[in-house]
Structure 1
Amino acid sequence: MPRPLAELPKAHLHLHFTGSMRHETLLELAAEQGVHLPEALVGDWPPKLRATDERGWFRFQRLYDTARSVLRTPDDVYRLVRETAEDEATEGSRWLEIQVDPSGYAARFGGLTPTLELVLDAVDRASQATGVGIALIVAANRTRHSLDAKTLARLAAQYADRGVVGFGLSNDERRGRARDFDGAFRIARRAGLLSVPHGGELSGPVSVGECVDDLAADRVGHGVRAAESPRLLDRLADRQVTCEVCPMSNVGLGVAEHASAVPLRAMFDAGVPIALGADDPLLFGSRLLAQYELAREEFGFSDAELAELARQSIRSSAAPEGVRKELLAGVDAWLAAPDPHDETRVLRARQ
């Protein structure tokens, strides 16, 4: 029996709001509201996806939009965030930064500001109920105009001291280059927010480089395509730019043909800080703990290396310094605990 990974304190830095929903919650809300779900979200769940072409990405987005449609009332939002926090606590995640684009819900909840305030209130309640520290990242959409991104950046800046800790950029990299959104990210950085754009998922190393050079990224969402460029890996390591690697998402979207093809080991060994993430558990069928289990079982990470992965996620977070110190001490305690393998060997020897 290896050290239990659910007891390893960690920070979860790459989780999308709608995609964090429990599958059973999706089914229940859809039944209550009479929403017809495609078979890919019911009997064939988790759906078989491949988003490396336009048609595949469109299908992924359509499923995501269907899931978003069941969140119709404030109570639905409170439920989603509370259940997400409960799941995080169960898996040893003690700090969560959840990403949301208020534009997706603005028409339903009275506008951008009321939507953001609703989510922030839900986050506050869920954090108090579960003990998991939770903060928000406001994300712009690459497929929309850069002026929309500036509007969201100004909104995020207004709440920089009230629960919003970062500004992101998501959706299909092939539809909008990072440099087109530099104005929005300047607004966010001036407010002290972390720069956390997606890059290097559906597009190659150039996309990651633009996130670093044009958006001054503190972290890059995914970033796995950086492994195609040793020079870029060196830059990420030198600058200590964290990559939020989501292995099961990479497999689910066809970015990697199979789990062993995700360059997690190569990036870690190159000195690039890693924060493992689940991305969208609702569509990929696995949460944060499964990513750590994969690191152990598929990539052969030792307990010392798994502890370092957890430390890197904590150091890369926006958690208050006191919280970071507490979590890092918890990681050290997890690693210092007796190795169950050693105890088993002693017992067998005595028999």
Structure 2
Amino acid sequence: MEHQRDVRLLPKAHLHLHFTGAMRPATLHELAAKHGLHLPEALVSETPPQLRATDERGWFRFQRLYDTARSVLRDEEDIRRLVHEVAEDELADGSRWLEIQVDPTSYAPRLGGLTPTLELILDAVAEAEAATGVGIRVLVAANRMKHPLDARTLARLAVRFADRGVIGFGLSNDERRGLARDFDRAFAIAREGGLLAAPHGGELAGPSSVRDCLDDLGAGRVGHGVRAAEDPRLMARLAAEGVVCEVCPASNVALGVYERPEDVPLRRLFEAGVRIALGADDPLLFGSRLAAQYRLARERLGFSDEELAELARHSLRGARMPEERRGRLLAEVDAWLASGPLPAPAGEPDRGVGAGVR
């Protein structure tokens, strides 16, 4: 019996993954025990927590769980373990290049300050890359809930490490809070320093938040951006300007942005010519990693293998990787497609879309 091509063998880049949210559940539990920390039931359960962030209370619950998970990362060994395990998980999912997002402010008090924290993360990244072969780079992210001056500090720090593995600058947290233009100076600092601007927008807030990312922050990529599908003129602009939207279907459903996987307007964006890089966002809380996003596109949204290959190409073209490496990986995507459907590999089956999609 023939099976569809294994999406884990499809070479791809992962451009939307948060640092703490990339942790394995087992690692979360072991580090909590190591440091004598209590975890709430929602983080102990074998199933992902029920999350709906479309109202303020729901977002607060999501953020509280994320902050609790972040609190288990308390020393150098924890950071190195997380980064190494993330690289292993990326390799297993066919991700050949990862751009992981981190706000070092959150870890700095326990790790000696902002600069030592970022230095440690980048050192761990270099070790994990050497061990696994997965290319890894870092986006430094500011928090929309904090003062814009804090964002400027982070932008200057990110630029200082542009030759050590930092490739971009982001803006995370609830895009319904505050104005993008309040952070325009921080993003100007980052862009002038040669970094990619990649703020969040267009998930919990509508198309106007995507437009603000473009107009006020000079975004070359938009974290999420999925709700641009509600505005045909905005989709046309994204396509014409080649702006990549880092769409994370499982988290869109888990957070209540869309009721069902079938409601995620991935095909509408795709057929409008918008470049899309599928991402897992926070697998720790949403229950599914990168390959599951491709399975969702196939099984719930009707994407053919040819279309999945094109999504992988979008991700590779949107990555900040050396051109020689990009060309090699694009050729490997073509080879995956040319190989024809194969029997399911031994071991773990190529399952459905993952527990995080509800």
TM-score, normalised relative to structure 1 = 0.96
Distance in 2 (alpha carbons) for counterparts of 1:336 and 1:47: 39
Deviation digits for residues 237-286 of structure 1, max 9, x if unmatched?
11111100000000111111111111101000100000000000000000
Deviation digits for residues 183-235 of structure 1, max 9, x if unmatched?
00000001110010000011111000000111111100000111111111111
Question: Map of 1:168-317 to 2, 5 A cutoff?
Answer: 168-317=170-319
**Alignment check: 8 A CA contact 2:6 2:342 kept:** no
Distance in 2 (alpha carbons) for counterparts of 1:217 and 1:239: 10
Q: Which one of the candidate residues 28, 31, 43 is aligned to 1:29?
A: 31
The alignment of Structure 1 onto Structure 2 pairs a total of residues equal to 341
Distance in 2 (alpha carbons) for counterparts of 1:176 and 1:196: 17
> AA paired with 1:222?
H
Distance in 2 (alpha carbons) for counterparts of 1:265 and 1:338: 23
Question: Map of 1:92-107 to 2, 5 A cutoff?
Answer: 92-107=94-109
> AA paired with 1:232?
L
Counterpart in 2 of 1:349? none
Is 2:327 the partner of 1:325?
Answer: yes
Counterpart in 2 of 1:81? 83
- How far did residue 44 of structure 1 move? 5.7
Counterpart in 2 of 1:344? none
Counterpart in 2 of 1:347? none
> SS at the partner of 1:202?
coil
- How far did residue 323 of structure 1 move? 1.2
> SS at the partner of 2:275?
coil
Is 2:155 the partner of 1:153?
Answer: yes
Question: Map of 1:40-79 to 2, 5 A cutoff?
Answer: 40-43=42-45, 45-79=47-81
- How far did residue 31 of structure 1 move? 1.6
> SS at the partner of 1:137?
strand
Distance in 2 (alpha carbons) for counterparts of 1:332 and 1:44: 37
Deviation digits for residues 133-173 of structure 1, max 9, x if unmatched?
00000000000011000000000000111100000000011
Deviation digits for residues 299-332 of structure 1, max 9, x if unmatched?
1111111100000000000011111111101101
- How far did residue 32 of structure 1 move? 1.9
Distance in 2 (alpha carbons) for counterparts of 1:129 and 1:68: 25
> AA paired with 2:103?
D
Distance in 1 (alpha carbons) for counterparts of 2:46 and 2:318: 36
Q: Which one of the candidate residues 115, 118, 127 is aligned to 1:116?
A: 118
Counterpart in 2 of 1:345? none
RMSD: 0.9
Counterpart in 2 of 1:348? none
**Alignment check: 8 A CA contact 2:261 2:301 kept:** no
- How far did residue 179 of structure 1 move? 1.1
**Alignment check: 8 A CA contact 2:140 2:169 kept:** yes
Distance in 2 (alpha carbons) for counterparts of 1:86 and 1:181: 35
> AA paired with 1:218?
G
Counterpart in 1 of 2:347? none
- How far did residue 178 of structure 1 move? 1.1
Distance in 1 (alpha carbons) for counterparts of 2:179 and 2:241: 22
- How far did residue 339 of structure 1 move? 3.3
> AA paired with 1:207?
S
Deviation digits for residues 98-126 of structure 1, max 9, x if unmatched?
00000001101111100000000010000
> AA paired with 1:101?
D
> SS at the partner of 1:243?
strand
Share of identical aligned residues, percent? 71
> SS at the partner of 1:15?
strand
Q: Structure 2 unaligned segments of length 5 or more: list them.
A: 344-358
> SS at the partner of 1:14?
strand
Distance in 1 (alpha carbons) for counterparts of 2:225 and 2:240: 15
Distance in 2 (alpha carbons) for counterparts of 1:255 and 1:176: 19
- Structure 1 segments of 4 or more deviating over 3 A? none
> AA paired with 2:24?
R
- How far did residue 175 of structure 1 move? 1.3
Distance in 1 (alpha carbons) for counterparts of 2:178 and 2:116: 28
TM-score, normalised relative to structure 2 = 0.94
Q: Structure 1 unaligned segments of length 5 or more: list them.
A: 342-351
